[in-house]
């Protein structure tokens, strides 16, 4: 029986229709948006093999699809679209296409893709934690919080914008405060970055947290990330409340050590003086009678 050799190219042509485009180029999964202060990242899974890559296309709901050069036939699983979503109030959709690796051609007309959820930067970006400075007046009658607006990833005319530049009067700040070492909390909402509190007990320590508040948003998107806690000084605070046990013990040890050194130096000096006086008397000649 004579063996018939079939060219490899014909075998590929014969068996290729048996494989779908999805088999050759698996779809991306878990396509999600992550955005903080308008720094917007599209991410997905899994990391591709050497046989395929990912390309990101994005558009507004009524616009044409666009691509960014750094997210075309890439082996990565994320794409920074911060500078591409220029209309902050628009709703965007992104498609993650599974394509051949860079430099490899294919006869497939439409590659498999996975679409992202809808995303609007103005409504959906998370607001990061703000910084603030705490100041108590000299007469202890008022406490003022000076809040710094967080910077964003948006630039205009060469200047980096902060969240106040973008949200304008819609931006407010929520202050949560309590007496130090107490669980009871109070809340005040301010439309400005300078927040004055006058209902605090004079001389008492209070702890404060600040977060951005945008009432026009929906649900959990209204509040930004909570700031770090800052507490005012307590004028009635004892030394044991102001300093830890370790610090107090170290201070006592240093004081005792200093006292011991002083006593030791004093004793040595006294002994040397006595020895000098004694030596001087022994060396003097006897007086004639």
- Quick one: CA dihedral 164, 165, 166, 170, positive or negative? positive
Q: Residue 126: pLDDT above 90?
A: yes
pLDDT of residue 86: 95
* pLDDT per residue as tens digits for the range 88-113: 999 999 999 999 998 898 888 899 99
CA nearest to 74, candidates 32, 109, 94, 44: 44
Query: Residue 212 class from Cβ within 10 Å (0-12 exposed, 13-18 middle, 19+ buried)?
Result: buried
Tell me where in the chain the CATH 2.60.40.10 domain(s) lie: 22-124, 131-235
Percent of the chain's residues with pLDDT above 70: 85
CATH superfamily for domain 22-124: Immunoglobulins (2.60.40.10)
pLDDT band at 5 (very low <50, low <70, confident <90, very high): low
> Can you spell out the DSSP letters for 28-62?
PEEEEEEEETTEEEEEEE----TT-EEEEEEEETT
Strands 194-197 and 186-190: what pairing? unpaired
Specify whether the CB–CB gap between 135 and 147 falls below 8 A.
no
| Reported pTM | 0.73
* pLDDT per residue as tens digits for the range 247-261: 788 888 889 988 989
At the topology level, CATH places domain 131-235 in: Immunoglobulin-like (2.60.40)
């Amino acid at each position: 029986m004579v063996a018939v050799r079939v060219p490899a190219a014909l075998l590929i042509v014969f068996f290729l229709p048996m494989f779908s485009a999805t088999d050759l180029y698996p779809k991306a999964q878990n396509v999600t948006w992550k955005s903080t202060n308008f720094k917007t990242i599209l991410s997905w899974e899994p990391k591709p093999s050497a046989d395929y890559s990912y390309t990101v296309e994005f558009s507004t709901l009524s616009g044409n699809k666009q691509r960014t050069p750094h997210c075309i036939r890439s082996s990565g699983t994320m794409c920074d679209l911060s500078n591409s979503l220029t209309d902050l109030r628009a709703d965007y959709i992104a498609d993650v296409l599974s394509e051949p690796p860079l430099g490899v051609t294919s006869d497939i007309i439409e590659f498999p893709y996975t679409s992202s959820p809808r995303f609007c930067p103005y409504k959906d970006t998370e607001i990061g934690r703000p910084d603030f400075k705490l100041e108590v007046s000299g007469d202890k009658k008022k406490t003022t919080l000076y809040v710094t607006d967080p910077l964003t990833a948006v630039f205009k005319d060469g200047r980096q914008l902060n969240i106040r530049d973008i949200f304008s009067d819609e931006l407010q700040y929520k202050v949560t405060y309590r007496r130090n070492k107490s669980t009871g909390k109070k809340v005040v909402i301010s439309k400005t970055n300078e927040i004055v509190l006058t209902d605090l007990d004079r001389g008492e320590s209070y702890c404060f947290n600040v977060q951005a508040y945008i009432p026009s948003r929906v649900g959990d998107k209204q509040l930004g990330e909570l700031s770090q806690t800052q507490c005012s000084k307590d004028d009635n605070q004892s030394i044991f409340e102001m300093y830890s046990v370790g610090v107090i013990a170290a201070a006592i040890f240093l004081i005792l050590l200093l006292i011991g050194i002083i006593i030791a130096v004093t004793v040595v000096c006294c002994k040397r003086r006595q020895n000098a006086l004694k030596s001087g008397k022994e060396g003097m000649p006897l007086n004639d009678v």
